[in-house]
């Protein structure tokens, strides 16, 4: 199984830019085959990523119908392995550098600003206007600081979505990543499939659908890529009885990523 480190090479190839320095390995073949078929130019001018924390494959497998708006908007499903340890800053560093933890340096739950090259740097070098929209004090709002990109740090998930909708409408950016953490928050307080956790999951799906609808409208004259992204899964800690992640087990390590490709109309 390929790893989440293949996401940066894939986004780079999709957007026609050189990948970040530490990224290695080819882009995901399913996505690139579709891009060659769908886009006249073979590449996407615009890209919107919705990153929802801790939505592992087991959640998709056991609550498949909940994901119908994800699979409808982003039908190319790619099964990937997370990186070890499957902790949020470790995983997002690997996703956005294209490198294993030993290469990018975040090897446990710690949140330094990454000194190494990232997809955000690569996109900026490629002339793309980039926005990170994330919840205050989350890993996504901290470890990628200091790039030549725009940061929109919001108090909660809802404001992240509202901001992303406004950014889409303004046409100001070529690449937007909107990060939400509602499911992860609730899962840690309860268990991965508690009623509250599943409600948080449904909220993520609803918000992804909203962003997808908005994106399709405002970028209708552009070749555009949409992605549902996640970083790792979760399991029940036998000691605390609550949701957690960080072990080398399928529940934590196996994820699905979803891509949708929209040619200009």
Query: Which residues are at the interface with Zn ion (CB under 5 A)?
Result: 53-54, 88, 231
Q: Which is nearer to Zn ion, 134 or 261 (CB)?
A: 134
Question: Can you tell me the distance from the alpha carbon of 111 to that of 88, in angstroms, rounded to the nearest whole number?
Answer: 9
Q: Which is nearer to Zn ion, 53 or 252 (CB)?
A: 53
Q: Which is nearer to Zn ion, 87 or 173 (CB)?
A: 87
Question: Can you tell me the distance from the alpha carbon of 150 to that of 164, in angstroms, rounded to the nearest whole number?
Answer: 12
Q: Which is nearer to Zn ion, 45 or 58 (CB)?
A: 58
Q: How far is the CB of 252 from Zn ion (least distance, A)?
A: 10
- DSSP H helices, 105-261, are 119-125, 139-142, 157-170, 182-189, 195-218, 250-253
CB 99: neighbour CB atoms within 10 A?
24
Residue, CB closest to Zn ion: 88
**CA torsion sign, 75 to 76 to 81 to 83?**
negative
Q: How far is the CB of 181 from Zn ion (least distance, A)?
A: 7
Cα 234 to its chain centre, rounded Å, is 16
Question: Can you tell me the distance from the alpha carbon of 216 to that of 225, in angstroms, rounded to the nearest whole number?
Answer: 10
Q: How far is the CB of 226 from Zn ion (least distance, A)?
A: 21
Question: Can you tell me the distance from the alpha carbon of 248 to that of 265, in angstroms, rounded to the nearest whole number?
Answer: 44
Q: How far is the CB of 13 from Zn ion (least distance, A)?
A: 25
Which element (helix H / strand E) includes 229?
Answer: strand 224-229
Q: How far is the CB of 231 from Zn ion (least distance, A)?
A: 4
Q: Which is nearer to Zn ion, 6 or 82 (CB)?
A: 82
In sequence order, what are the residues at sequence separation of 6 or more whose Cβ sits closer than 8 angstroms to the Cβ of residue 20?
8, 12, 96, 97, 98, 117, 118, 119, 121, 122
**DSSP classification of residue 56:** B
Q: How far is the CB of 175 from Zn ion (least distance, A)?
A: 21
Q: Which is nearer to Zn ion, 45 or 184 (CB)?
A: 184
């Amino acid at each position: 199984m390929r790893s989440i480190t293949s996401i940066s090479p894939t986004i780079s190839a999709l957007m026609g830019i050189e990948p970040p320095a530490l990224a290695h390995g080819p882009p995901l073949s399913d996505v690139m085959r579709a891009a060659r078929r769908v886009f006249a130019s073979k590449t996407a001018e615009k890209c919107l990523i919705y990153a929802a924390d801790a939505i592992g494959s087991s959640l998709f497998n056991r609550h498949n119908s909940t994901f119908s708006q994800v699979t409808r908007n982003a039908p190319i499903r790619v099964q990937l392995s997370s990186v070890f340890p499957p902790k949020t800053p470790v995983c997002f560093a690997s996703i956005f550098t294209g490198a294993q933890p030993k290469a990018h340096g975040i090897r446990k739950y710690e949140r330094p600003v990454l000194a190494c090259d990232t997809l955000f740097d690569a996109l900026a070098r490629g002339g793309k206007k980039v926005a990170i929209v994330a919840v205050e004090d989350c890993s996504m709002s901290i470890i990628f600081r200091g790039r030549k990109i725009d940061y929109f740090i919001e108090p909660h998930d809802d404001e992240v979505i509202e901001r992303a909708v406004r950014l889409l409408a303004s046409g100001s950016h070529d690449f937007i990543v909107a990060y939400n953490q509602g499911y992860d928050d609730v899962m840690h307080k309860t268990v991965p499939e508690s009623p509250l956790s599943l409600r948080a999951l449904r909220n993520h799906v609803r918000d992804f659908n909203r962003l997808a609808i908005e994106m399709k409208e405002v970028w209708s004259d552009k070749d555009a890529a949409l992605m549902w992204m996640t970083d790792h899964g979760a399991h029940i800690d036998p000691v605390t009885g609550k949701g957690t992640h960080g072990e080398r087990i399928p529940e934590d390590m196996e994820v699905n990523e979803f891509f949708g490709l929209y040619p200009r109309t």
